[in-house]
Amino acid sequence: TWSGPNQSLSMLGESISSVTPPPGAVVVQALNGGWSNIAVLDNSGPLPDVLSSVSAWTTLWPFFGYSSDPNTGYWSWDGPWPLVRFMRPGSDNPSGPRRSRVWPFWSSYEGDGLKSHYVLFPLINWRETETKLSTGKGNYVVPIWQHWQKKDKQGVETSWTKLWPLYQNFKQGEQGRFAFPALNPLWHMPEIDDHYAWIYELITREVDGPRVSVRTWGNLYRREIDETEDRTYLSFLWSRRAFRAGEELQVEHSLLFGLLRWRSYPERDEFLPELMAPSFPGPGWPMQPALQPPIPQNGASKP
């Protein structure tokens, strides 16, 4: 294994009689940024022809520099660094890195699985990525617009959209989260939203497979649906719980901190509800949901 950039190959003063398999007279290890480690395994003397066409110079390092290879067409220019940089790959590495930069007006880079372009850096950016694990693309207008999506090798799609300060939406497979408004100007940081979103979000909708949760600011209104129950809350004033007990659909209501509670049976012909014992401060529902899912009423569906 060859050493990294600017590292000794640890062969100075060593006598090497053979290398298996024979690499040839010149061994090149490609590195990032168009640089390579080059080892000449030959007798002492001038560099082989394969290297003789490369030329480079710098002045006022690191602000101005140029290198080129007429045989392959490779060239790069830095000056004044880091504001202006250009690089084009040669014919020996046509898919190598390609860079154009005139900061802050324009910047473009293609290579190492990334295509990224900036206008008025860092305000406007669009990009595409491809790695061994996933592919993706995104576009950004800081701080107003954020959108990216990616797909992993298992086919799971993940996306994030944010129009600040109006809304944000995150999806990953069967999971998702929507919020209005989106006053938090940061990137996708679920840790922040989990702890503080109740302060600055009026409406939040979260999905995790068959489970759906909708809540308003301060949890004043909340609705939770899963495979077995449909629960709705209006803080302290009213709550509703629909579930199945055996084969029968039951709906329970609670008013005024649980002081007034009753149960109804929508599938029966009976009109009068069944009164339940008070449960202060209400609503008195069990922590664990029912065992069987409710049937939507009057065409109702998940929020």
* Residue from 166, 187, 186 nearest 178 by CA: 166
Q: Which residue has the higher pLDDT, 284 or 137?
A: 137
Q: What is the pLDDT of residue 45?
A: 54
User: Would the pLDDT of 36 be above 80?
Assistant: no
pLDDT tier, 268 (very low <50, low <70, confident <90, very high otherwise): confident
Q: What is the pLDDT of residue 184?
A: 87
Asked if the bond preceding 210 is cis, omega within 30° of 0, the reply is: no
pLDDT tier, 228 (very low <50, low <70, confident <90, very high otherwise): confident
| pLDDT tens digits for range 91-138 | 988 889 999 999 999 999 999 999 999 999 999 999 999 999 999 999
Count of beta carbons in the 10 Å neighbourhood of residue 58: 14
| pLDDT tens digits for range 88-103 | 999 988 889 999 999 9
Q: What is the pLDDT of residue 123?
A: 96
User: Would the pLDDT of 234 be above 50?
Assistant: yes
What is the SS3 assignment for the chain? Answer: CCCCCCCCCCCCCCCCCCCCCCCCCEEEEECHHHCEEEEECCCCCCCCHHHHCCEEEEECCCCEEEEEECCCCEEEEECCCCCEEEEECCCCCCCCCEEEEECCCEEEEEECCEEEEEECCCCEEEEEEECCCEEEEEEEECCCEEEEEEEECCCCEEEEEEECCCEEEEEECCEEEEEECCCCCCCCCHHHHHHHHHHHCCEEEEEECCEEEEEEHHHCEEEEECCCCEEEEECCCEEEEEEEECCEEEEEEEECCCCEEEEECCCCCCCCCEEECCCCCCCCCCCCCCCECCCCCCCCCCC
pTM: 0.71
Overall average pLDDT of the 38-48 stretch: 57
Overall average pLDDT of the 280-295 stretch: 75
User: Would the pLDDT of 30 be above 60?
Assistant: yes
Q: What is the pLDDT of residue 125?
A: 98
Distance from C-alpha of 226 to C-alpha of 212, rounded to nearest angstrom: 6
Portion of the chain with pLDDT greater than 70, in percent? 78
Q: What is the pLDDT of residue 103?
A: 95
Q: What is the pLDDT of residue 300?
A: 46
At 233, the amino acid letter reads Y
Of 4-18, 215-229, 239-253, which gets the smallest average pLDDT?
A: 4-18
Go through 216-250 and write b for each residue having 16 or more CB atoms within 10 A of its CB, e for each that does not: beeeeebbbbbeebbbbbeeeebbbbbbbeeeebb
User: Would the pLDDT of 12 be above 70?
Assistant: no
Alpha carbon 106 to its chain's center: 25
* Residue from 233, 239, 246 nearest 294 by CA: 246
User: Would the pLDDT of 299 be above 50?
Assistant: no
Distance from C-alpha of 265 to C-alpha of 276, rounded to nearest angstrom: 13
